Amino acid sequence: MHAGRIVFAQVIDHLPRHEFNKCVARYKGDRKFRGFSCLDQFLCLAFAQLTYRESLRDIEACLRSAGPKLYHMGFRGKVSRSTLADANESHDWRIYADLARVLIGIARPMYASEDLGLELDNTVYALDSTTIDLCLSMFPWARHTQSTSAIKMHTLLDVRGAISTFIEVSGAKQPDVTAMDSIVPEAGAFYVMDRGYLDFARLHTLHQAGAFFVTRLKKGVRYRRTRSRPVDLDNGLRSDQTVVLTTGQSLQNYPEALRRIRFYDAIKKAPLVFLTNNFTLPPLTVCLLYKLRWQVELFFKWIKQHLRIKAFYGINENAVKTQIWVAVAVYVLVAILRKRLALDASLYEILQVLSVNLFEQTPLLQAFQRDDPPEKFDRFSNQLILPDL
C-alpha cells in the first residue's frame, strides 16, 4: 500500500480475493452476469456497513458522488439502486456466508493469544442467540407471532478476540438449543451457555467429544449428590458437589457424573447454581468462566449499534441473510486489519475513523496516527460493564 491509494481500496486489499472467487464459483454467483458482479455487490454493501448508509438510495447517492474514484475502489459495474436490489435478491447469500467463514479462519489465529483474565489455556466459546425484529407487512416469510416478524442469529463466539466461529440465521420460532446440533465440538474447549441450552442429550454429545461445558442449572432438575468438596466461603462459594441425575429420561440422556457448584451473588443477592463436566478447575474459575458468557451479549449489542443488521436494504430472505453475512464479514475483515497493521485502536474506533476517511487518498496507517495520545477504548466501547459475580 502506498500514498495516493484510496483508503477503501486499501481496506479491501485484506480480502483474500482468490477465496472470494472460489465462493462465487461454488454457487455460480456470476453465472447471469449483467454488468454487476458479486464483487461489486460486496463492495457496495461493505461500503454501506463502513459508512452507516440507511438505504439503497443512500448507497447510490454516496458512491456516485465519488465519480472516477469508484474504479480505483474496485468497482467495475454501474452502481444503481435497481442493480444492487436485484443482486441482493438473486446472488446466493451462501457466497457471503462462506466468505465470512474464510475470514474467521484467518482472524482466529491472530487473536489466539488474547488474555482471558483467567489462568486458562483452553479455547473458550460463548453460545447464545439474539432476535432481530422485522416488519410483518414487509417480511411475511419471517412471521413470528400473529402481529410480528423476526429472525434469530445464533452465534458461537470465541471469547479471545470476540470472533464468531459459528453463525446461523433462522426463524425466531426455532428453539435456541437446536443450534447445538450444527456445532462440531472441539476437544478440550469450554462451551459456556445459559439455561436455555440445558439439554442433557446434547450436553452428553459435547462430553463424549472431549469438550467441556459450563451452564446454569434449571429448577426442577432432580439429582443425587455423591460427593462434596470443601469451598472457601469468603469468595462467595457455597458448595462444590459431584451429582448424578436421577430422573429416568435425564439419566438415560446423561449417564455420567456432573459437577454442581453453588455461588452466592452478593450484588443481586441471589444464588447461582452452575453445572459442568469439568472436575479439575477450581470452583471459582468455573464461576468466572460463566461470567465470560457476557461477551457474546456485548457482541450482539455492539454489532446492532455499529453494523447495519437492524434496517435492511431488501425484503426477501436472501437479501436479509446476505446483508447479515456481509456485516459479519466486514466486522472480521476490520479485526484482521487491526492485527496486521498492529493498531492499538479498538474496533469501534477503527470503524469511526474509516467511516470518514474511505474516499481519502492516504496511506491507511496514516489515517490512524494522531499527535495526541489516543484515548483507550474497551473491546466493546460504550457497552455494559461486566458485573461481578
Report if residue 197 sits inside a domain: yes
Residue type, 22: K
**Which residues, 6 or more positions from 144, have their beta carbon under 8 angstroms from its beta carbon?**
150, 171, 172, 173
Report if residue 107 sits inside a domain: no
Residue type, 372: D
Q: What is the arrangement of strands in the sheet containing 258-265, beginning at the earlier edge strand?
A: 163-171, 149-158, 124-134, 190-192, 212-216, 270-276, 258-265, 237-245, 223-229
Q: Which three cell numbers mark 193?
A: 451457555
How many domains does the chain contain in total? 1
Report if residue 112 sits inside a domain: no
Measured between alpha carbons, how far is 303 from 308 in angstroms, rounded to an integer? Answer: 8
Tens-place pLDDT, residues 166-190: 888 888 888 999 999 999 999 999 9
Measured between alpha carbons, how far is 176 from 174 in angstroms, rounded to an integer? Answer: 6
Q: Which three cell numbers mark 180?
A: 447445538
User: Could you tell me what percentage of the chain is helix, strand and coil, using 3-state DSSP and rounding each to the nearest 5?
Assistant: 40, 20, 40
Where residue 389 falls among pLDDT bands split at 50, 70, 90? very low
**In this model, does residue 386 exceed pLDDT 80?**
no
pLDDT at 179: 92
Q: Tell me, what DSSP letter sits at residue 369? A: -
Where residue 161 falls among pLDDT bands split at 50, 70, 90? confident
Range of the domain at 198: 117-297
Question: φ and ψ at 256, to 5 degrees?
Answer: -85, 170
Report if residue 244 sits inside a domain: yes
Q: What is the DSSP string of 190-207?
A: EEE--GGG--HHHHHHHH
Q: What is the pTM of this model?
A: 0.83
Report if residue 34 sits inside a domain: no
pLDDT at 371: 52
**Which residues, 6 or more positions from 247, have their beta carbon under 8 angstroms from its beta carbon?**
221, 222
Average pLDDT for 8-22? 94
How many CA within 13 A on the CB side of residue 139?
25
Q: Which three cell numbers mark 94?
A: 451462501
Report if residue 362 sits inside a domain: no
Beta bridge partners of 150: 133
Query: Could you tell me the CATH number of the domain that includes residue 126?
Result: 3.90.350.10
Report if residue 28 sits inside a domain: no
**In this model, does residue 120 exceed pLDDT 50?**
yes
Tens-place pLDDT, residues 333-380: 999 999 999 998 888 889 889 988 888 888 888 888 765 555 554 555
Report if residue 125 sits inside a domain: yes
